[in-house]
Structure formats: C-alpha cells, structure tokens
Chain A
Amino acid sequence: MMDPQANRSHGIEQAASSGTNAKRPGRILVVDDELGMREGCRRILAPEGHTVTVAGSAEEALAIYLPGTQDLALLDLRMPGMSGIELLARLQQLDPDLICVMITAYATLETAVQATKSGAYDYLAKPFTPDELLLAVNKALERHWLRLEAAQLREHAERSLLLVSTEQSRTRTIIQSMADGLLVTNREGNVVLYNPSLLRLLGIKSEMPAPGQPPSPDLFPQQLLDWMAQAWTGDEVTMAAHELPGGPPHLAANIAPIRDEAGDRLGIVTVLRDITELKSLQQAMSDFVSMVAHELRSPLGAISQYLDVLKAGIVKDPEKEKQIITRCRERTGALSQLVRDLLDFSVMQRRGQADRSVVPLNVADVIRETVEFLAPQAGERDVSVSTDLPENLPIEADQAEMGRLFTNLLTNAIKYNREGGSVHFSAHTTDGYVSIEVTDTGLGISPAALPRLGEAFFRVKTTQTAQITGTGLGLSICRQIIAAHDGHLEIESEEGKGSTFRVLLPRHRAVG
C-alpha cells in the first residue's frame, strides 16, 4: 500500500507547513462500517501520535460523540443506516469546531463537490495509501489548528475591543460626573462633546444642539463664544480663566486649543467652573477690609480734626487745649487696641484645633487673674468688680484663649457700665458644662441690637456709647473662642439696667 509519490508529497506538505502545529497530534474519530478500514486507519494514525476513536456506524458515532473531544472526523460517505453526509451535518451541529474529511469509494467530482458543499473540509478516495491518509489528515488538522488559532485571535481582539470600549465608557462616565462644565468643539467650530454640568452651569434647560452643529448664541453667552473664537485664531494660549459677566452662578472659563502631535489645532476645549463660592469669599474679604478702613478712619478723622483746631489756634483756653490732647491720646490708644484686636481676630480665623493647646486648667484662676489685671481700669471708671467663684473650676481649654475671653468680657462690662456701677462674676457646674456669668449694671442692650452683638465691627450706637471707644471686635473674638471650645454664649439684657453674659464651656473636650 506504500506509494512513493504520496510519501514525497507528504514530505513536501510537512516541509511547507510552518509553525508548531505541523506535527501536533490530533484526536481523530473514524467512522466506517468496514472493520478493515477502521482498524487500518488506526494502525496508520496511532503511530503518528494521534488518538484514534472508531465507530462502526453513524448511530454509534453519535452515541459516543462528546463535543470538544475530537479534532478531526473521518467519515465514510456510504454506510448502512444514517449516511456520512447526514452524520456530517449532525456532527457539525454538535461541534462547529470539528473538521471533517469524507471517505468515499466512488471518488467522482460530483461526490467531492457534494461532500465539501455539505461542510466537509476535504475528501479521500478509497482505496488510499497510508501516506495519502496521513497527508489528508495532516492537512485537515493543520487547517483545524489554524481555525482554532484564528478563533483565539479573534476572541483576544474582541476582548481588547471590549477593554477599549470599557475605557471609553469610563472616561465618558468621568466627564459626565465632572462638576465643571466641558465643551469640545472641532476644527469647524461644531460641538463634538459636552457634559451635563455645562448645561447646568449655563442654565440650558432645552436640548443642546446635536453634536455636529455650532454652539448657538441662543444657548451660549456671546462673550464665551467670542473667547472661543479668539482661542482658535489667537497665537497665544492663555491658561488664565476668564470670568464670564453676569451670574450667579459666577462662571470662569478656561479655553484652550486641542493640538495634535504636529501642533496643529484640532479643536477647542472649554472648561466652565462655578466660582460663586470664591466670589463670595472675595466679597467677604473686601467687606472686611472696608469695615476695617471705616473703623480706622473715624478715629483718625477725629484726631486729625482736633489737630487742625489746635494748629489753627482756635482754642485759647489752655485747659480746653489739654482736654483735646487727652482725647487725641485716648483715640490713638483705641486705634492701637483696634490693631491688637485685628491681629487677634486674624489669629482666631487662621487657628485650627491643632494650634490650640487644650489642657486641664482651673478657669476660676483665669478669671481671678483677669479681674486683678483689669482692676486699675475698673478703678478709673469707679466700677467695682466682685467674684463668687468656687475655688476649683476645672475645664479643658486653651489657657491663653480663656484669658482673652474673660479680658474682653470684663473690659466690656467695665466700659459700658455707669459711673460707680458694678460687675459680678459667678459660676456653677452643670451636667458636663461649666456656666460662668458676668453681670454688669451697665447701659444694657436694646432688643433690636441684641441679635447683632458679636458681629465683627458691630457696635451699639447711642448717645451714651458715643463717648466710649471700642473696636467692635472684642465680643466677636469672644464668640470665636467659645465656638472653638464647643461652648455657648447667652446674653440677657435690659436697657438702662445692665446685661448678663453667660458662657457655657464643656468640662471635657470631646475626643477627636
């Protein structure tokens, strides 16, 4: 049965085939009703390393066939019962990866065409030499491996595509979630991308023009469109944000050309940011500076006016002159205090909890020291200061800030008191808090002014307070210190009778 020619051609085929699949053994199913044919095939194929399974009929083959367990099927075309063609159809249905070669005793063009039309890869005419069989088997297997490889490659490519589209979808999700508005236009100036924040910030309620159209002046501020046009034609790229007129919301736009590797412009990317918060901070800062300027100008104006009077020689009475100089001195003293308070105020604003050294301390001692320190000031105004404090009043607080708190409260109680009036400190402990009361016999505060007390620079203005110098920051600093210690300030007041300032401070600082 050996055929030198077939052998040679087999050799050529092997040499021609490249890659690692050429000699890879396969799992081969042989279905033939002739026992000799089945066993012949096995004897030829098994020594080549192939695993051979045999079946004597189509029915038997179907009964034992498990998809994915065979690489190649050699099917006899004509068998009693189910024919090879029908078996071919059934097997291909079961296992699309299986490659089939038909064996036919009547090798005509017609049968060959019929077999390949039915999905067979090749056919082999009986009788065949072992080499012819091996040649056909190797060729089919080679094809089979290639198909599998192609399928794997395809699967890999599909996985990569999936990854790419996942990445795209992730980027899209990020852009959709951005708080900043994003608009991308192309070379033609048409919209190619935008996100929901853009619509929200610009207050666009209607539908955006579909991508591919230019941003309409009906929907976009003209100023923004002008800047975009400038960014496209301009040579310079500015990274500074332009602030759009109007608002709130106050918007800043960053506009930059998108360039390719060669530096050519592909489009414009515009990012809109809501700067309303920033603007209100700027406004608060500007208001604060204005208030400081105002607070500085009043005493400076008064001092300056007095100096003009002295310089013009208007005042002849030396006693009056002395009074003016004394008042000037007092007003400059108040200015110095204002500067000190401003520094305190700024420190309080900047200070975080980390900057405080919260320690266990006896707040009764702090109050007693404060009273002692301010005794001369009280004496000047003929105000008596008394205390009714427990020996020990332990809290956890920042020592310096407690000193500042009670100094400010006592200073106010002395300043806004009547001549010969009194200030009284009392304290008691209540569930988790220490309550300290400062009661004065002073001017009192009108119900209208009470809620504004503690606002920076707010001062109660009456004929009586007009003479009293103050910065309007003292109580504001008190409030900040109390808040920083998780405390609470209560004020009770009756005009003409006096006020009580009640400070509640927690005895222990909450952890964290």
Chain B
Amino acid sequence: MPERMRVLLVDDDVDFLNAVRLTLEAAGYDVISAHTGEDAIGLLRDASVDVAILDLMMEEPDSGIAVAHFLRRQPEMRGIPVILATAVTEKTGFRVSLDDPDDRDWLQVDAWVDKPVDPQTLLREVGRLSRARQSG
C-alpha cells in the first residue's frame, strides 16, 4: 500500500474547511489545515505536503497568494501543486484567469476551483496534480 498523500488546506471559514477535509479524508488523503496564511506557513515549516488547497482570502494581508508565493520560494517545496479555491472576485473588482499567462505568472497556482466546489471535481483535480507531482 503506497504512503498516503498529504493535503494542506487553508481557509478562513471553519465549516468550509471541515467539509473539504471530510471529502478528502474519505478519499484517503491526510489533511492538515489552517485558518490563516500565517498558520499555514507555520505548518509547512514542520510538515511536507503533496498538494496545497488555498483560499484566496483577499481581505487578509497573508492571503492564499502569499502562501503560494512562499511555497514557490522554498527550493524543497517549489514543486508542490497549488489549487486556489475562491469565491472572492467581485469584492475587489478582481478578476483573474489561468488562461492569461500574466495572471498565471502572478498567481503561481496550478489549478483554480470555485467555491463551493463540487466534491468530485475537487478530488479529480487533487488526484491529477498529485499524480503529476509523483511522476514528475
């Protein structure tokens, strides 16, 4: 039996986080979670993860983007796939697309899911990215 994959989950909504955790755990993933970007970075110093699911959390200075950028700056974490989950787009009049190279460059993420996220879609994305990481 292969070692269980570990997913980092960061979201400021405790219930959203719990629901996604239940989904991932039922699919056989280990989940470590944080409510803030700061806590997430703290967790990453002690534990290695295979995939990170981050909330954009635009109102926080240590947003999901900050965590994504932190991951990209660490040589040993650079390759960790990042999924950005967010519903916050209109609030700041902020619209990004992974089809846009500039946006992709800035976001430093591999996939993008809208909240609430369909459990099947989430599991498919997590599976795809974690397999790609393993083979890569």
Contact = CB atoms under 8 A, between A and B. Distances in A.
Nearest to A461: B12
A315 interface: yes
B91 A305 contact: no
Given A320-B22, A463-B39, 14 more contacts: A293-B90, A297-B115, A301-B16, A302-B19, A305-B20, A306-B15, A306-B18, A306-B19, A309-B23, A312-B120, A324-B18, A462-B36, A463-B35, A466-B13
Interface in A451-495: 461-463, 466-467
B119 A314 contact: yes
A304 interface: yes
B130 to A, nearest CB: 19
Given A301-B87, A306-B15, A308-B118, A463 B26 contact: no
B116 interface: yes
Considering the complex of A and B, which 6 residue pairs feature the smallest CB-CB distances, nearest first? Answer: A302-B15, A305-B19, A304-B116, A314-B26, A305-B116, A302-B16
A493 B77 CA distance: 40
B126 to A, nearest CB: 14
Contact of A301 (B13, B36, B91, B118): B13
Interface residues of B, number: 25
Nearest to B116: A304
B116 A315 contact: no
Nearest to B24: A314
A398 B124 CA distance: 58
B15 A461 contact: no
Interface string A313-337: 0110000100010010001000000
Contact of B119 (A303, A308, A462): A308
A314 B91 contact: no
Interface string B84-117: 0001101100000000000000000000000111
A466 B22 contact: no
Given A314-B23, A461-B36, A461-B60, A305 B87 contact: no
Interface in A242-293: 290-291, 293
A298 interface: yes
A298 B13 contact: yes
A305 B115 CA distance: 8
25 contacts: A291-B91, A297-B87, A297-B115, A298-B13, A299-B13, A299-B15, A301-B13, A301-B116, A302-B19, A304-B116, A305-B16, A305-B116, A305-B117, A306-B19, A308-B19, A308-B118, A309-B19, A312-B120, A314-B23, A314-B26, A315-B26, A324-B18, A327-B18, A462-B36, A463-B35
Contacts of B91: 290-291, 293-294
Contact of A309 (B12, B90, B119): B119
B115 A463 contact: no
Q: Is the interface of B mostly helix, strand, loop or mixed?
A: helix
Q: Which of A293, A309, A324, A467 has the most CB of B within 10 A?
A: A309
Interface of A: 290-291, 293-294, 297-306, 308-309, 312, 314-315, 320, 324, 327, 331, 461-463, 466-467
A57 B33 CA distance: 129
B8 to A, nearest CB: 16
Interface of B: 12-16, 18-20, 22-23, 26, 35-36, 39, 60, 87-88, 90-91, 115-120
A308 B35 contact: no
Given A301-B115, A304-B116, A466-B14, A314 B90 contact: no
A331 B19 CA distance: 13
Contacts of A300: 116
B13 to A, nearest CB: 5
B119 A312 contact: yes
A312 B23 contact: yes
A447 to B, nearest CB: 16
A449 to B, nearest CB: 12
Contacts of A304: 116
Nearest to A311: B119
Contacts of A297: 87, 115
A323 to B, nearest CB: 9
Nearest to A303: B15
Contacts of A327: 15, 18
B93 to A, nearest CB: 8
Contacts of A466: 12-14, 35
A381 B87 CA distance: 32
Contacts of A331: 15
Nearest to A315: B22
Nearest to A320: B22
Q: Which of B39, B88, B116, B118 has the most CB of A within 10 A?
A: B116
A467 B19 contact: no
A169 to B, nearest CB: 50
Contacts of B15: 299, 302-303, 305-306, 327, 331
A294 B36 CA distance: 18
B105 to A, nearest CB: 27
B41 to A, nearest CB: 14
A329 B92 CA distance: 30
A375 B100 CA distance: 55
Contacts of B16: 298, 301-302, 305
Q: Which of A297, A299, A467 has the most CB of B within 10 A?
A: A297
A256 B90 CA distance: 38
A293 B15 CA distance: 18
Nearest to B117: A305
